Amino acid sequence: MTSKRSDWEMLKQWEAEGLVRLVYFDESGFEKSTPLTYSYVRQGQQHRIVKPHRCGRRISLLGFWQPGRRFEYGMVVGGFNSDRYLSLMLWQAERANTHWQATGQITVIVQDGASFHCSKIVQACWQQWQEMG
């Protein structure tokens, strides 16, 4: 964990010096119906919130955030897998390549260790993305 923190601190320093562009990446999901956050109950009765049956599938977002500059995302009904992740990462690699060609600044995408981030099909693309900037 200490190594990861020191790597992140180094990346932040490089960003401050203009050597790299940091983009943070994460997934979030939402239900189509929102649960009640509060309710009223008669005094002396047990408080109960009945959870409605799910009305359909979950909505998932993969977001790319560059603080103070931009936020871009991909959205799907259901969840993300390696194939969906790959299409979004290719889109970001193309944007990184355009940025690199214009500025000479490489883009570093910071992400967590979700299983589809590290699948074999994704690992096969790492070299290509690095070459794109």
Mean pLDDT by 10 residues, the chain (133 residues): 83 94 89 66 72 70 92 87 84 92 92 72 76 72
3-state SS class at 28: strand
Residue 109 lies in a domain: yes
Q: What is the pLDDT of residue 54?
A: 60
- The answer as to whether 108 is a domain residue is yes
Please indicate, yes or no, if residue 96 is contained in any of the structural domains: yes
Query: What's the domain range around 77?
Result: 22-30+53-128
7: in domain: no
Residue 5 lies in a domain: no
15 occurs within a structural domain: no
How many structural domains are present in the chain? 1
What is residue 46's predicted lDDT score, i.e. its pLDDT? 74
CA 3/CA 11 separation, integer angstroms: 12
Q: Which of 23, 118, 24, 27 is nearest to 80 (CA)?
A: 27
Contact between 107 and 20 under an 8 Å Cβ cutoff? The reply is yes
On whether residue 6 sits in a domain, the answer given is no
Name the token pair of 109: 């995408």
Asked whether the CA dihedral 32, 116, 130, 107 is positive or negative, the reply is positive
Is 100 within the bounds of a domain? Answer: yes
pTM listed for this prediction: 0.72
* CA atoms of 25 and 16, how far apart (whole Å): 19
Strand partners, 108: 22
- Burial state string for 61-70 with b = 16 or more CB within 10 A and e = fewer than 16: ebbbbeeeee
